[in-house]
Amino acid sequence: VSPAERAVVSSADGPERRVRIPAVGIDVGGTKFAAGLVDESGRLASYTEYPLPSKRYEDIVALVGETVGEFRREVAAPAAVGVAVAGWLSPDRDVVLQAANLGWRDQPLRRDLEARTGLAAVVGNDADCAAWAEWVQAGKPGGAFALLTLGTDVGGGLVINGELITGAHGLAAELGHLTVRMDGAPCVCGSRGCLAVYASGTAMLARAKELLAADPSSAPTLGRLSGGNPAGLTGAHLQEAVALRDPAALAVVGEAGRAIAAASQQISRVIDHAELMLGGGASNVGQPLVEAVSAAIAVSQPVGPVRPIPRVRLARTGNRAGVLGAADLASRAARCPQPT
């Protein structure tokens, strides 16, 4: 029997003894390619990550095929492959309608992956996969969970009662583009005052540069780390300055925290989430951001009907979230094949 068949046989023994189907998870970022094999026990048995060698669609499909082949030879036999992509997917998640960072349009990725690898394939939006990974990591609780990925942009993912919410057009959970300030600054999406304008890693760094340039005395650590040159400031500098309690760096985190809290209020009104998880590179500023968001949420809760406040926490799966989430979604789809 193949590992997949073995897993199915085992799961037939009873729900307590359910064994996962080993699956490869792959995260195709704008600049990075990451892949891992998640085994029967749910453990990440192997992981690799390197700069994306090409953005060409055909090259990536071929690379996924080679990667799956390597895992087959070296570790164990995966029965499914899941790929996380930053982009807009069709509601059935078969087609990448648009992936701006990669320059892809209307690519039938799921079909091509199955043809290339011979395995059951699943495609997911990267923030959706990350949200899924965090929910799995949390022990698959019931209720509603929201994840924000604070990177170049702000991505979002929602898991409600064990289901990933993708929407009628594959555009659900675009939480980074909730309006947090009417008539606010313009956003890349064409709207104004979006969460991403205030809380993306890009936005936080830009704000830190602005504060340092305007008043160096308010930003002693940022000034020292950047050699007094605001343009030379990096995300790592901001992270370090926050840890060292630089006033301007903390102000940046406070502003981002208030914007995230405003978005969380709106998310609450719609799904009443139990947890708001913060991931992505900019969440590396850590606990001060969690505290800023929590404090702002607590202050702005309306008086009236009791509304429990969502718990805010940092994501736990780090830069492996996409790989873990894609692998788990693939494993699940292979275990319960969807009707065609």
Site of interaction with Zn ion (CB under 5 A) = 177, 187, 189, 191, 194
Residue 190 Cβ, how far from Zn ion at the closest point, in Å?
Answer: 7
**Which of 137/191 has CB closer to Zn ion?**
191
**Which of 98/191 has CB closer to Zn ion?**
191
Instruction: Return the number of other C-beta atoms located less than 10 Å from residue 296's C-beta.
Output: 20
C-alpha dist (Å) from residue 152 to 8, 48, 219: 41, 23, 23
Residue 165 Cβ, how far from Zn ion at the closest point, in Å?
Answer: 19
Residue 194 Cβ, how far from Zn ion at the closest point, in Å?
Answer: 3
**Which of 47/88 has CB closer to Zn ion?**
88
Residue 158 CA to residue 161 CA, distance in Å, equals 10
**Which of 48/191 has CB closer to Zn ion?**
191
Query: Which helix (H) or strand (E) covers residue 311, if one does?
Result: strand 311-314
Q: Give the count of alpha carbons within 13 A of 19, CB side only.
A: 16
**Which of 55/181 has CB closer to Zn ion?**
181
**Which of 179/301 has CB closer to Zn ion?**
179
Residue 187 Cβ, how far from Zn ion at the closest point, in Å?
Answer: 3
Residue 189 Cβ, how far from Zn ion at the closest point, in Å?
Answer: 3
Residue 77 Cβ, how far from Zn ion at the closest point, in Å?
Answer: 43
User: In 3D, which of 233, 307, 232, 240 has the Cα closest to residue 269?
Assistant: 307
Instruction: Return the number of other C-beta atoms located less than 10 Å from residue 219's C-beta.
Output: 26
DSSP 106-124: EE-HHHHHHHHHSSEEEEE
Residue 229 Cβ, how far from Zn ion at the closest point, in Å?
Answer: 30
Residue 84 contacts residue 124 (beta carbons within 8 Å): yes
Give the tokens for residue 16. Answer: 């307590």
What is the chain's length? 340
**Which of 112/174 has CB closer to Zn ion?**
174
CA dihedral 58, 83, 130, 273 (to 10 degrees): 110
Rg (CA), the chain: 21
Residue 70 CA to residue 242 CA, distance in Å, equals 41
Residue 175 CA to residue 78 CA, distance in Å, equals 33
